[in-house]
Structure 1
Amino acid sequence: MRTRAICLATGLALLLGVTFIASDARAEHLIVSVSNHRVTVTPNYSGEELVLFGSIERERDTPVPRSGYDLVVTVSGPRVDMVTRRKERWFGIWVNADSRQFLNVPAYLAIFANRPLDKIATPDILRRQQLGLNNVLLTQRVGPDYADVVASDPFRRAFIRLRTDLGLYQENTSAVTFLTPTLFRTGIPLPAEVPTGTYTVGIKLLADGALIAKTETAFEIVKVGFEQFVATTARQHGLLYGVATACMGLMAGWMASIVFRRD
């Protein structure tokens, strides 16, 4: 009786394993790439647009969903700490009244999709998968606590608005184009003020409001030439860089006093 129970349990485990393997074999897979994995920033750099392209690979017996596929691309730049300040007018002078620190947030953040996000999935799934500027995790220091607040929080809204005005945060729900039911592309605009570092590109495939596949790729933005020399010197030899900058300022002031001196 005991041997029979063990055999039954083993058979059930094998059946479940076969089921999981079959389910994985039928799952869609994403194959993606970007047009340039290394962007160089020179003194005359004025911005660039990369192209992300890819395909949805599926087994021959896996049908295309009746409503088609949906794709959301999230491009996230290097992580930094930033502060958003609120100004108030006191006696005719604008002063900093309050501030909020954002911790380890993307310096660059862009979300691209093939249609409006509220048409792709429910608010709960969008929040869980962090799809859209209103759903991305932006941790703040709130007094002694660390938390991501609601999307309507004034500091959060001001932070996103300021980054959007600089072109460093953006959301475009018509940027992803399906060339065929399984081939897609989108552009990744990089403004002139784009920070250097490693950028992660997360691609999530949805169908009928559910996540069915995801993958990642990356590219790097680096400075070259004189700008790279200055940045490296400032980072590795801060004292020397500060002294040299002060000397250059004094020399420029001395030369200006000579040029504009009145005899």
Structure 2
Amino acid sequence: MKRNLPSVRHIAGATLLIGLSCVTVPLHCEPIALDFSQHEIGIDSSFTGAQVLLFGAIQGRRDGDIMIVLRGPNYPTVVRRKARTAGIWLNRSEVVFVVAPGYYAIGASSPVDEILDTRQREVNQIGLNNIKLMSEGAVARGGSSAQYQSALLRHKVEQGLYFDEPIPIEFIGANLFRARFNFPSTVPPGAYKATVHHIEDGEVVATGTTSLRIRKIGLEARIYQTAHDSPWLYGILAVVLALMAGWLASAIFRRS
């Protein structure tokens, strides 16, 4: 089930304290004070998704806009292209994206194209088309790796893991801001990093980062860990369980 968020009063109060502490000791503070409403999300059998609040405070007088980039852990991702051969759909070619974020979302306090120009968006990897995806593998005749990248982005958006529209950033008072990020039930475990840019006149003038972790808990965690640490053992157990299930089903049908 989805996790509850803290009240706005508590969040605003905590953020204000962060801002005041930074004003008191400016040499030891980041230009932007940031925090998540929770720093860890547990995935168990009842997990249906979660919503997390990112809040922050700008030091000094607020001018310009805020841009947030939230990325999940990088995973190798394979995109295959099928073709019909003798009435059967077969994999004809594939491209492996060696580094692809498992989750990607951006937040903006104004329309993105009004905040940063094309070059700045490319440099800071803001927007789906600006994600740097390293690919390798065979490409079908007449195709290109760009087609496979478009297919990957489209599939991730359909899964709710990538967002093609920016999440709105709300300002609370003069210097406080917040943004809500949703995670679907299929969100991959790992470390998530939020990079927040303070932008004035089309230039990034300050940057801050914060992170959260998503991990499996309970029986799911043990199964997941076994599959990654000892894949041979996981494979043997899966085969044994399948054989036992088949034998049990056969015995039940024979009796009936």
- TM-score normalised over the length of structure 1: 0.78
Counterpart among 101, 109, 122 of residue 96 in structure 2:
101
Q: Assess, with a 3 A threshold, how the Cα gap between structure 1 residues 56 and 248 changes in structure 2: closer, same or farther.
A: same
The one-letter amino acid paired with 1:137 is K
Q: Assess, with a 3 A threshold, how the Cα gap between structure 1 residues 154 and 178 changes in structure 2: closer, same or farther.
A: same
Deviates more, 1:88-97 or 1:220-229: 88-97
- Counterpart-to-counterpart distance in 2, 1:90 and 1:115: 49
- Counterpart-to-counterpart distance in 2, 1:43 and 1:83: 27
- Counterpart-to-counterpart distance in 1, 2:106 and 2:62: 24
The one-letter amino acid paired with 1:31 is A
The one-letter amino acid paired with 1:126 is R
Whether 1:38 and 2:33 are equivalent positions in the alignment is no
CA positional deviation for 1:260: 1.4
CA positional deviation for 1:209: 1.0
Aligned to 1:54: 56
Q: Assess, with a 3 A threshold, how the Cα gap between structure 1 residues 115 and 228 changes in structure 2: closer, same or farther.
A: same
Structure showing greater radius of gyration is 1
- Counterpart-to-counterpart distance in 2, 1:242 and 1:174: 41
Aligned to 1:29: 31
- Counterpart-to-counterpart distance in 2, 1:64 and 1:230: 48
Aligned to 1:82: 77
Whether 1:180 and 2:173 are equivalent positions in the alignment is yes
CA positional deviation for 1:173: 2.4
Q: Count residues with an aligned counterpart.
A: 225
Aligned to 2:135: 140
CA positional deviation for 1:134: 1.2
Q: Deviations over 1:42-91 (max 9, x none)?
A: 11000000000011012xxxx543xxx22111111111111111223334
Q: Assess, with a 3 A threshold, how the Cα gap between structure 1 residues 95 and 238 changes in structure 2: closer, same or farther.
A: closer
SS at match of 2:157: helix
- Counterpart-to-counterpart distance in 2, 1:135 and 1:121: 13
Aligned to 1:146: none
**Cα contact 1:40–1:222 (8 A) shared by 2:** yes
Q: Deviations over 1:135-164 (max 9, x none)?
A: 121111266xxxxx99xx211111100111
Q: Assess, with a 3 A threshold, how the Cα gap between structure 1 residues 91 and 142 changes in structure 2: closer, same or farther.
A: closer
Aligned to 2:208: 215
- Counterpart-to-counterpart distance in 2, 1:64 and 1:233: 50
The one-letter amino acid paired with 1:135 is N
CA positional deviation for 1:169: 0.9
Q: Assess, with a 3 A threshold, how the Cα gap between structure 1 residues 89 and 232 changes in structure 2: closer, same or farther.
A: same
The one-letter amino acid paired with 2:117 is T
- Counterpart-to-counterpart distance in 2, 1:190 and 1:180: 27
The one-letter amino acid paired with 1:226 is L
**Cα contact 1:111–1:133 (8 A) shared by 2:** no
Over the residues paired in the alignment, what is the CA RMSD in angstroms? Answer: 2.4
SS at match of 1:232: helix
Counterpart among 173, 198, 206 of residue 205 in structure 1:
198
Counterpart among 89, 109, 112 of residue 107 in structure 2:
112
Question: Sequence identity of aligned pairs in percent?
Answer: 32
Which runs of 4 or more aligned residues in structure 1 lie more than 4 Å from their structure 2 counterparts after TM superposition?
Answer: none
CA positional deviation for 1:171: 3.4
Unaligned runs of 5+ in 1: 1-23, 144-148
**Cα contact 2:167–2:179 (8 A) shared by 1:** no
**Cα contact 2:44–2:220 (8 A) shared by 1:** yes
- Counterpart-to-counterpart distance in 2, 1:241 and 1:91: 36
Whether 1:72 and 2:67 are equivalent positions in the alignment is yes
Whether 1:125 and 2:127 are equivalent positions in the alignment is no
SS at match of 1:212: strand
CA positional deviation for 1:238: 2.8
Whether 1:246 and 2:239 are equivalent positions in the alignment is yes
Q: Deviations over 1:71-124 (max 9, x none)?
A: 111111111111111223334332223221101221111112122211111111
Counterpart among 228, 235, 255 of residue 228 in structure 2:
235
- Counterpart-to-counterpart distance in 2, 1:174 and 1:247: 47
The one-letter amino acid paired with 1:259 is I
